[in-house]
Structures are given as structure tokens and as C-alpha cells.
Amino acid sequence: MSADTDAASVGGPEDRTAGGVGLATSGASRPEPPGEGPRWRLGDRIGSVEVLAGLLILLVVFREPLAAALDTPRVQTWTTVFVSIMVQAVPFLIFGVLLSAVIAVFVPRSFWARALPRHPALAVPAASAAGVVLPGCECGSVPIAGSLIRRGVTPAAALAFLLAAPAVNPIVLTATAVAFPNNPEMVLARGLASLVVAMVMGWLWLRLGRTDWIRMPRRPELDDASRGRAFWGAVRHDVTHAGGFLVLGAMAAACINVLVPQRWLQTLADNAWLSILALALLAVLLSLCSEADAFVAASLSQFSLTSRLVFLVVGPMVDLKLIAMQAGVFGRRFALRFAPTTFAVALLVAAGVGAVLL
């Protein structure tokens, strides 16, 4: 019964690997790029639309057995969690994609040259602080950061924005204040630690980062002469692309949600250092929306405040769905270096800030 869904969820990461390779490295590493539209093997007549139509017809026909297969409580809970992550994230994804399409198509390159300090080392804190005015969660900020880099913003500043925006905006800080009514210092600690991590990562990128790690896929539609065409082309591309990776992340998070027993957490909470590491990893695995994670952190009351701060700082910067989306937007070589480094920096900074402030 559950084999179907398990197979689907296991198949997911493999799909991603294949997709990631296709995006990050040249197609030459694979002898035969499979089934991309024009090179369809079964005949010239069958394209994506036909495959899609056939697939949908099959799904409608086999709706009943499919529903029956999903009827065990565990699979049902998995499906509920998966669908709810998608439903929750879709508005943020769409608005982030629209904003990024506006940046990519309508905001002239010269604007960024004027808006940000000329020196990259100064542009990093400016971009981190700019995250304060963007109310949203991390699903929207990945395509926005991608657009910023495309429009000539120095990657260090765009990455600082990517990290800071989901954590320091007013909505998320308000949610944190509501979730921790007895610990208002948590809001300060979260905002401060997140800003510091974003700036440290920006400066680290300036010193150590190499632009050839970032492999942004070609976007021919952005060069289109017609602005309307370019805009809607960018929206279409970003929604299918970032949205596809969001699906991967949501599936992974749903698996964690259903498979990791809560009793394990109880044992981890009793050790100060282990609890910090455990909550940092949990933040990565759970892939919660940054607007919701404060409430979950509040409910993990068996853990120390510092370890919960680590949870709140790491979560919006590194998690499964973000890694998937970053691999898609910036390339896999980038994501493989950026995500672990961010994780380590966020862990250290948050633990340090927690030790001082909490």
C-alpha cells in the first residue's frame, strides 16, 4: 500500500540529482539527454503536452485505486503535510517570482549601481538590511536573489540579501514575538544573529567565493525585445523551476515529519551541546516556513532557549527545500558549498549570540 508513495518519495531525490546535474554541469557529461521535448525518442509527434495529457487521463481513470492506496494513516498524514506545505508556500512563491520578474525585466541595471554602495564590502550590509523591508519567507527570496545577480548586483550582496530577508522582516519578527511572549529578547537575538550571519556569509563570499561556482541557467526569454513577453516568460520559468524544487523540498520535509519519532528529540534535549546540534539539524530537515518556525520553536520547550535560537537562525537560511531551490537557481556546485558553510556559520553565530543575550 505505502510502497507507491515511498517509491515516489525515494524517486524524488534521484530526479533532483539528475535535474541538478543537468543544470550545473554541461550536458556533455551525459551521453544521451533523456526525453527533453525536442529529442523525444518515441516519435516526433509526441511532445510534453501529449505526455501530460496522457498522464492526466491515466490519473483520472485510476483515481479510485490511487485514493485507496493513499488510505493508510501514515501515507495520509504524509500527503496532508506535503499538500499543506505547498498550499502555504504557493502565495509566497508567486509573489517572490513576480517581484523577481519585475527586477529582471523592468528595473534597469543602473538602478542597482546607484542603490547599493559601490564597494562590495559595503554593499553586503546594505543588502542585508534591505531584507527588513521584504515581508515574505524564504521561498520567494531565492528567485529574487537570482534576479539580482542577473542584473549585475555583486553576488556577495545578493547572497546576503537571500539569507537575511526571510529572517529579519517585520512579519517574521512579529511572529517570533508572539511565539515567545515571556522572552522578548528572543526577537532581538534572532534579528541580530540572522543579520550577522548574512553579513559574514557575504564577506566570506567576497574573500573565498568564486563566480564560476554559480552557474545560472541560460534565460534566453529575458533578452526578448518585448517586455511583456520577457516578463511572463520569466514568471512561467521561475514558477515551474523554483516550484518544482519546492515540491522536492516539501516531499522531503513531509517524510521527516512523518518518519522521525518525537521521542528521539526528548533524549537529545537533555544535553546542552547535543541539543544545539540537534535543533540545527532539525531546522534543516523540517524545512518550515520562516513565518511559522517560531511557533514550532516555542513548542519545543524541552530544549534550551539558545538551542531554539539556533533553530530559528538556521531554518530560514539552510533547509532541504532551500537547498533544492538554490541548486536549481544557482547550480549544484554552488549549493554544495554554500549550504554547509551557511549552516556552520549560522550555528556558531546563533550559539554565540544566544550565550550573550539569552
Closest separation in Å from C-beta 68 to other proteins: 11
Written as nine digits, the cell of 206 is: 567576497
Three cell numbers, residue 342:
551557511
Retrieve residue 233's grid coordinates: 516568460
By the 10 Å C-beta count (0-12 exposed, 13-18 middle, 19+ buried), 59 is classed as exposed
Question: 273-312 burial, b if ≥16 CB within 10 A, otherwise e?
Answer: eebbebbbbbbbbbbbbbbbbbebbbebeebbbbbbbbbb
Rounded to whole angstroms, the Cα distance separating 148 from 135 reads 17
**Helix ranges, the chain (H):** 3-24, 48-61, 63-69, 73-105, 109-115, 120-130, 138-150, 155-168, 170-179, 185-208, 227-259, 262-269, 272-286, 293-299, 305-314, 320-330, 332-357
